[in-house]
Structure 1
């Protein structure tokens, strides 16, 4: 059998096993449920207020935006965390030592992270459909839009997550990335229409995928007339596809280069050194 095919099949199996394990590990279950419950409570509190200039519930409009953040956050941060932690504990070194191991490892992580994102979206969307009025998911077109936004969003964010994960050998340094990401989330129109922000900030936010994922989700889940509160009074599907595709292409070009360089630097001595430093911090 072709070695590449073998590695891919191994990665797919590994990803399915890791994904199943997240449903039986209390810490992972907490990671699924706690943010969902907190966000649903926040949106329920916001349900009584309306978007300026409309009678549409702010809570209902926030729901699809939160789903967009779940895709961006999951694709970027989850893969970054996996690579950083498993680089420190030697998992990546063991994958490197196996023929086709790095390809299988990355395929497995893509399956695991994609599955985790889909589960996170589902456990927010399903109760949200019953808790919030005004969602427009009664057409095939809405579900189709939801599907392509999810797909292109994962392709746009996971390679960038892999790049950042390759750059950090210490999981405790990931705050360097997390703080800017949280700032982008706050400024990307998740809880308030972006049109209420200064124009210079609107321009900056539109460079990054978080805003476009939120916009794409809103276009799938909200009535067409809610596009009036967006920039250009339009859902801007072509622009959404264009920006997310550019991020996907950029990530797919850079990620393999960075990952290969990271794998070449991995050795038993580097893993032992990181473990020793970790033990010293604990002590």
Structure 2
């Protein structure tokens, strides 16, 4: 068996083990359930409001948008933060020291992040069905759209998360990625349609994956008539595929280069120096 196949198998096994461990870690369980609880409570109280110009529940419209936001957030921010933490505690250095260890490490993280994203979607979608009306959950076409948007969204965001995590050395600097993403969430129509925004803000939102993931999830779960309140009056699947595809290609090109560069720079002395700085901050 060639070394690459061994690394791939090891990465798949690593991802499964890490996923299993998240369900026995109280902090990880909190990270799953608390944001989900907050979103569900918000949608519950929004269910009586309606999307402007329609009689459709604003809460039901928000649910698929939140699913798309969760994919983008997990793909870019959670993976980036895990890379930063693993670099600081020496996990990446140990992976680098084994043959094809970085490949196995990366595959493990991709498996973990993808599974976590799907679990988070299920935790939001299933309870919301009990108090939100109008969602298309019995249509095979809806589930097909949900599947391809989720897969393409993960491919578009996970490599970029790896890029961001490779470029950030200090965990304190994660805010440099998080704050712009929070701003994009506000601009991307997750909680309210963006039709009333100035044209230049709409253009900014449409340049990033968050808007398109929200739109894709809405196209899967909302009635076809709700496309009328979107920009352009349609779900724009072709444009969605194009923008997410561009981000996917960009990430897949950049991620291996940046990860190799980061791995080459890792050494025992750099890990020790980061630990020393962390201890000084703690004191």
Common topology (TM > 0.5): yes
Alpha-carbon distance in structure 2 between the residues aligned to 1:48 and 1:16? 41
RMSD: 0.5
Shift of 1:128: 1.2
> Secondary structure of the equivalent of 2:104?
helix
Shift of 1:130: 1.7
Shift of 1:94: 0.4
Alpha-carbon distance in structure 1 between the residues aligned to 2:192 and 2:272? 48
Alpha-carbon distance in structure 1 between the residues aligned to 2:31 and 2:131? 22
Q: Which structure 1 residue ranges, 5 or more long, are not aligned?
A: none
C-alpha deviations, 1:215-255, integer Å up to 9, x for none?
Answer: 00000000000000001100001111110000000000011
Trace 1:82-97 onto structure 2 (pairs within 5 A).
82-97=82-97
Normalised to the residue count of structure 1, the TM-score between the two structures is 0.99
Alpha-carbon distance in structure 2 between the residues aligned to 1:37 and 1:43? 10
Name the residue aligned to 2:215. 215
Trace 1:238-249 onto structure 2 (pairs within 5 A).
238-249=238-249
Name the residue aligned to 1:99. 99
C-alpha deviations, 1:159-197, integer Å up to 9, x for none?
Answer: 100000001111111001100000000110011111121
> Secondary structure of the equivalent of 2:130?
helix
Name the residue aligned to 2:108. 108
Q: Which runs of 4+ in 1 moved over 2 A?
A: none
Name the residue aligned to 1:158. 158
Name the residue aligned to 1:231. 231
Name the residue aligned to 2:41. 41
Shift of 1:131: 1.6
Name the residue aligned to 1:169. 169
Name the residue aligned to 2:60. 60
Name the residue aligned to 1:11. 11
> Secondary structure of the equivalent of 2:128?
helix
Is 2:120 aligned against 1:120?
Answer: yes
> Secondary structure of the equivalent of 2:8?
helix
Is 2:189 aligned against 1:189?
Answer: yes
C-alpha deviations, 1:98-138, integer Å up to 9, x for none?
Answer: 00100000000000111110100000011112220010122
Is 2:77 aligned against 1:77?
Answer: yes
Name the residue aligned to 1:21. 21
Is 2:271 aligned against 1:279?
Answer: no
Trace 1:196-211 onto structure 2 (pairs within 5 A).
196-211=196-211
> Secondary structure of the equivalent of 2:120?
helix
Name the residue aligned to 1:261. 261
Shift of 1:32: 0.3
